Structure 1
Amino acid sequence: MMKTFSVNTNHHDQMVDITQEIANWIKEQGVKDGAVIVSSMHTTAGITVNENADPDVKTDMLRRWDEIFPWEDQRDKHMEGNTAAHMKTSYVGHAQTLIIENGELVLGTWQGIYFCEFDGPRRRKVSLKLLK
């Protein structure tokens, strides 16, 4: 089973919590045990699992990625000027595989699944694939 859904971003760099949408879809499918692959369909947006309790974590992460991969680097040759977004996506990764047990996503107490926008704002796509 596969599903693709849209994520609308409002900022150039943004982390959007998509945990509940994924958990709801898993319940709708009636899957008890297996895994789900969560994949960004873009080269300038990734997927990560991280803390969802304190919003400052997202702010700090986005700032740190900007420090590692600055947007303005005169040495970049990519004509679109978004090499930093490509680098961030390669660093974060475009996909995550998560365990499903007893019909529930297996996540830690403070964990959430995030769509990471690095070249927005845009309308993006995320694909989910169930493995049973």
Structure 2
Amino acid sequence: MHELSVQTPQREFMVDITAQVQDFVRNRELRNGMVILFCPHTTAGLTINENADPTVTRDILTTLRRLIPHQGDYQHAEGNSDAHVKAGLMGSDLRILVEEGRLMLGMWQGIFLTEFDGPRSRKVWIQWFASSTAA
């Protein structure tokens, strides 16, 4: 297993980690298989979405803020209930196919750590599974 460290600069932010994940694959000369990413945090998550136009991440965060406001009728005493709900919607894991040493993402897709209770230092764990070459 490999661990990525990701610094988030503000309370809500989407950090593009595509290059770091691709570097993991390239540096280990992983050819064909799958990587599994896992975020071990309850107020951050993972998602795949467009990474070509930065207004997309802005729109995602703005929409989540509108749907799940920071202040609300929450019972959780820490004051970050909205972050738990948003992270739950994003999810904590991703599976990405690898072929010929390349992440099999669509043309406009990128991998994002989604922060909802930052700024913080976050972890993303990466596990690799190779394809069987047996016929």
Shorter chain as denominator, the TM-score bin is: over 0.9
Aligned length: 130
Q: Distance between the aligned counterparts of 2:128 and 2:67, measured in 1?
A: 34
Q: Distance between the aligned counterparts of 2:16 and 2:106, measured in 1?
A: 15
| Cα offset, 1:62, TM superposition | 0.2
Q: 1:52-91 to 2 correspondence within 5 Å?
A: 52-73=51-72, 75-91=73-89
1:99 to 89, 92, 97: 97
Q: Distance between the aligned counterparts of 2:23 and 2:81, measured in 1?
A: 35
Counterpart secondary structure, 1:72: coil
TM-score (norm 2): 0.94
Gaps of 5+ in 2: 131-135
Gaps of 5+ in 1: none
Which residue type is aligned with residue 66 of structure 2? E
Which residue type is aligned with residue 68 of structure 1? L
> Residue 125 of structure 1 aligns with which residue?
123
| Cα offset, 1:31, TM superposition | 1.3
Q: Distance between the aligned counterparts of 2:5 and 2:13, measured in 1?
A: 15
| Cα offset, 1:119, TM superposition | 0.3
Q: Distance between the aligned counterparts of 1:108 and 1:20, measured in 2?
A: 14
Which residue type is aligned with residue 129 of structure 2? L
Q: 1:25-36 to 2 correspondence within 5 Å?
A: 25-36=24-35
| 1:14 lines up with 2:13 in the alignment | yes
Percent of pairs identical after alignment? 42
TM-score (norm 1): 0.96
Q: 1:29-44 to 2 correspondence within 5 Å?
A: 29-44=28-43
Deviation string, structure 1 residues 5-35 (Cα, Å, up to 9, x no partner): 2100111100000000000110111111110
How large is the RMSD of aligned CA atoms in angstroms?
0.7
